[in-house]
Structure formats: C-alpha cells, structure tokens
Amino acid sequence: MTSAPLPTLMVVPTGIGCAIGGYAGDALPSARLLAAASGCLITHPNVMNGAALYWRDPRMHYVEGYSLDRFAAAEWVLRPVRRQRIGLLLDVGIEPELAQRQIQVAEGCSATLGLEIGPVVQTDQPLEVQLELGASGASSGRIAAPGTLLRAGERLKQAGATAIAVVARFPEDPDSEALAAYRQGSGVDALAGAEAVISHLLVRHLQLPCAHAPALAPLPLDPALDPRAAGEELGYTFLACVLVGLSCAPDLLPAAQAQPGDLLAQQLGAVVAPQGALGGEAVLACLERGVPLISVANPSLLAVDQAALGLECGVLQASSYSEAAGLLLALREGLAPAALTRPVSPLQRLP
C-alpha cells in the first residue's frame, strides 16, 4: 500500500553559493529524489530553473520565493492548476535582436510544448538592473525603475495573464574574475540576488506566479567549464525553464479563500534546507509550527546553522540529499527517525 504524500518544502537560498543549488538547475536531481520520497515537493525557481534545461513532475510545485515565504507563514495557500496563461514581460532595455530571441523561445515553447503564452509587453522605460554583493559575499541587486516593472505587470494581468515570465537586461562583464571563477565551479551566481528582487516585487504587487530570466549575450567557449555551469551556456536565453515552470505553477490565494484540494502550510510534513542557511523566513515559520526540519550538509557562504539559532530539538541532520530522502520516507511511513540509528536511546522516565 502506498502511503499518502507528505507535503515537503525544499529551500535552497538564492545567491549564496550553495555547493548544490548554486548553479542553474544543479539541485534538480536532488529535488526529483525528494519529490519521489515525499510524493509532494514545494520548491522555488532557484531549485528548478536549469536555463535551457528543465524537468516537469506533477509532484513538484514551482513557487517563487516571496510566495513560498507567505505560504510557509500560513498567509497564502497554493491551488494546483492544469495550466497557466503566461504573460511575457520584456525589459525595453534589451537590444532588439536579443529581445527577438526571447520571443522566439516563447514561440518555440508554445509550438513544441503546448504552453499557453501571451500577450507580450515591454516596459515603458529600461529597468536598469544593478548587481551588488552583500557583506557576506552573497549576491544582491536592485532595479532603478521598479514602477515601470509593476506597470507592465499590471497590463499583463489586465490582459488575462495568470502568470508572468520576466526577462530583464542584466549588466555583464565577460572578462571579470568573478565570472571566470563561477564558470569554473567556485564563487556565487552574481545575478541571482537581483533576479529575486524582480520576482518578489511582482509577486507581492500582483499575487500571481512570477519568475525571471536574465537577458545576456552568449559567452565565448570555455573548455574548462564546470559541468554545473554548462546548462547556462546552451543557447541564447534562459527563458525556456521559466516558461515550463510557470506553465503549471499553483495559483496563489489568501488563506481565507482556501478550498478543498488546496495546499496549506498546516499540511507540511517536513522542510529541507542547507545546514548553514536555516535563518530564512520560510524555515523559521515552519520551525515555529513544529514542522520537522531536515538540515542537509550543503556548504555555502552562510553559517546560520542549528547552533547559531539555538535549536536544541526538532532538527534532523542529513549528510546528503540522499540521506534526506531516506528521512522523508521514514516520516512518510510514520517511522521514528531515531529508530534507524544506533545506539537506541532508552525511554525517558518521569519522576
């Protein structure tokens, strides 16, 4: 007999250089394993976006980071849908040829994958994305013209779009040491922090599923390219994975509008996060409600671990995502994880 799904939240924070999840889509194998173990995995684009590569699985729910936080805090619910109508929002600052490449990718996804895409809207002025690094070395960023982004998003929503894919022109320095290090397997994704700012703004304003793909010129061939970076260099755009993810992303609704069949924070059976990145809003909200936390050894720039948060209980340690999948199976089957390790502790006796 197959056990009922155990809704599980998988979080790999953006732009902090995680060994698994620090590149475009390199956490997908781990996510697929956790989805198989739990039967229902809720995760964010940073985990599922693989640039030109992607993977669809009905057990995996594609939920942007801001909405994932709202869901974990029990403020929003997720309503699974068969498909979304994806509006395409283009930064007017993208050069015409590069913008046409984005449109061709969308048309290709429509013709080849059967996705419902359109209409297309350009911002009324360039977004002017700026990239930054925080004190920890994590990537961040800002946009000079947030109003134009929100106005374009409103136009798409009024035109009937139920999800929004955004493509913004990002600054680039193909000769930078940071980019060379990233392509060869070290450092952080310098774009990720600014991408999160863009999607957070739109989701907070429109309460629609949104995700972002950067517009960049293709890079010259690098024979020393790290395999984790290879998916980002297969074509002219990063848009295909965003369109696939958004095509069946769940609707976002206030908790007061919950209906049978919606996914609720109260149904979460576990949250899986990197060992040193436990300070995010979603993880803390789950801990407050007593949701079991599986802390996975996945090195990054951060060191916000169990000890730093003063957590004495409620945390299961996993040395890998394979071990985390085993713990999820134990929780799904109703097994006490402590029974799987040795020595077995004696029962506590009350005086």
pLDDT digits 0-9 by tens, 28-66? 999 999 999 999 999 999 999 998 889 999 999 999 999
Q: What is the pLDDT of residue 1?
A: 59
Return the residue matching tokens 């359109």.
118
- Residue 222 in tokens: 């690098």
Q: Is the pTM of this model over 0.85?
A: yes
Domains of the chain, first to last: 8-80+253-340 (3.40.50), 85-249 (3.40.50)
Question: 321: helix, coil or strand?
Answer: helix
DSSP for 108-124, written as a single string? HHHHHH--EEEEEEE-S
pLDDT interval class at 194 (50, 70, 90): confident
Question: Can you tell me the distance from the alpha carbon of 206 to that of 5, in angstroms, rounded to the nearest whole number?
Answer: 30
- Bridge partners of 277, per DSSP, are 304
Average pLDDT of the residues in 137-150? 91
Contact between residue 166 and residue 213 where contact means Cβ atoms under 8 Å apart: yes
The yes-or-no verdict on residue 174 having pLDDT over 70 is no
